Structure 1
Amino acid sequence: MKNIAITKDVQSALSPNQVLQDLLDGNNRFVNGQSQTTDNSALVNQTIGGQFPKAVVLSCIDSRVPVETVLDQAIGDIFVARVAGNFENVDILGSLEYSCKVAGSKLVLVLGHESCGAVKAACDGVELGNITAMLDNIVPAVRKATEEEDGLTTSENKAFVARTVKYNVALTMDRIREKSPILADMEANGEIQIVGGVYSLHTGKVEMI
């Protein structure tokens, strides 16, 4: 049972590799139907005075990818930043910097997912209200995937969408390093890792890229 929240000492002792493995182990438990039970009341009480999450996950808003659930994490374990299409912007970057530089998290995980609606919309060039400007953040991934596609470059092509999802994760990681000297320096110094993965709606598995 998970009934002890992460403390500062525990967080400080963790390496980025250990945190990544912990999240992957949690995903394996989820996939295998062995998710840990949690004493939420105990965790709530222990985290009233502070929090020391080991990682921050940048994910999509998709309701089929509840991040704490699919990684088998509990109260106080991870920060989660969510936006349709799991891309970075100023607010997301500030949140990631806070998570790592201020609060001590050891890992940034950019988590895309299979059949992402935002990616599909970007592939199809959807224009609708504020969604139009939001999708502009995903267009670079669409363009990169298009360079390797001989067939249909719309959401009807599942392979094209899957390729775009992966490129969107990879390009987001690149831009995080480019736009955040704080995070880039922390990664260069071995204080954190910036990694990416894609969640399968079919299997529940997170595959690292």
Structure 2
Amino acid sequence: MRKLAINKVAQDALTPDDVLNNLLDGNKRFMNNSLEAVDYKSLVKETVGGQYPKAVVLSCIDSRVPVEQVFDQTIGDIFVSRVAGNFENTDILGSLEYSCAVAGSKVVLVLGHQSCGAVKAACDGVELGNITAMLNNIMPAVKKSSEEVEGEANSSNPEFVAKTVENNVLLTVERIREKSPILKDMEENGEIKILGGIYSLETGKVTML
């Protein structure tokens, strides 16, 4: 049973590749239904004085994608920032910068997922309250996919939706680098990696892009 939380010494010793491999190994355990046993009570006590997460994941809010469980992580292991459609904005960029530049995380992972409802809504041009403005953040991916996929450019076309999910992740990764000189410099210096992946609702597997 895991009792010890990650500390500053352990965090400093990790490389971005170490962290990515740790996350993907955790995803394998998740798929195999063999998550590590955790002493939550001990971890709560150990982390009250500080936190040293190894990664930050930008995920969709979808209830079928429980990020910590998907990567078999627990209290104090990772930051998770969630918004429908897993896109970046000023607040999220600030959160990502805090995670890495202040708190020492080594990986920024943008995690999209199969059959994303926000992506489907953007594909269909849904207009409803504040959802309309939110979906505008996904429209660059919709436009890109419309130039790459044949057939209907809406949610009735599974190939179009899948390509838009992928493009949305890749474009978000690009924009994080463009909009955050802090994170871009850290990546260029080898301190962090900024990556994208897709979660399968059918298998539970995270596939890196």
C-alpha displacement at 1:189, in angstroms?
A: 0.1
Q: Which residue number corresponds to residue 97 of structure 1?
A: 97
Q: Is the 8 A contact 1:15 1:106 kept in 2?
A: yes
Give the partner amino acid of 2:47: T
Matches of 2:83 and 2:140, distance apart in 1: 17
Offset, 1:2: 1.8
Q: Does 1:110 align with 2:110?
A: yes
After the TM superposition, which residues 152-163 of structure 1 pair with which residues of structure 2 at under 5 Å, given as runs?
A: 152-163=152-163
For 1:155 and 1:77, the matched residues in 2 are separated by: 36
Distance 1:206 1:200 in 2: 6
RMSD: 0.4
**Aligned mates of 1:190, 1:103 — CA distance in 2:** 16
Residue-pair matches, total: 209
Moved over 4 A (4+): none
Q: How much has 1:148 moved relative to structure 2?
A: 1.1
One-letter code of the match for 2:180? Answer: S
What are the residue-to-residue correspondences of 1:53-202 with 2, within 5 Å?
53-202=53-202
Output the CA distance in 2 between the equivalents of 1:3 and 1:162.
39
Give 1:190 shift.
0.1
After superposition, the C-alpha distances for 1:127-171 in whole angstroms (9 at most, x for unaligned) are 000000000000000000000122011101111100000000000
Matched, 1:40 2:40: yes
Query: What residue identity is the alignment partner of 1:142?
Result: V
C-alpha contact 1:2 1:74 (8 A) present in aligned 2: no
Residues of 2 paired with 1:104 and 1:143: CA distance? 35
Matched residue type, 1:64: R
Q: What is the SS of the residue equivalent to 2:65?
A: coil
Question: Displacement, 1:3?
Answer: 1.1
Q: Which amino acid aligns with 1:183?
A: L
Instruction: Give, as a single letter, the amino acid of the residue that structure 1 aligns with 2:81.
Output: A
Give the match's secondary structure for 1:75.
coil
TM-score by length of 2: 0.99
Q: Deviations over 1:164-186 (max 9, x none)?
A: 00000000000000000000000
Please say if residues 2 and 39 of structure 1, whose CA atoms lie closer than 8 Å, have aligned partners that are also in contact: yes
Cα distance, 1:96 vs structure 2:
0.1
**2:55/2:78 contact within 8 Å kept:** yes
Spell out, residue by residue over 1:3-55, the C-alpha distance to the aligned partner (whole angstroms, 9 max, x if none): 10000000000000000000000000000111111100010000000000000
Distance 1:208 1:197 in 2: 4
Q: What amino acid does structure 2 have at the position aligned with 1:46?
A: E
Aligned-residue sequence identity (percent) comes to: 70
Ranges in structure 1 where 5+ consecutive residues have no aligned partner: none
C-alpha contact 2:149 2:159 (8 A) present in aligned 1: no
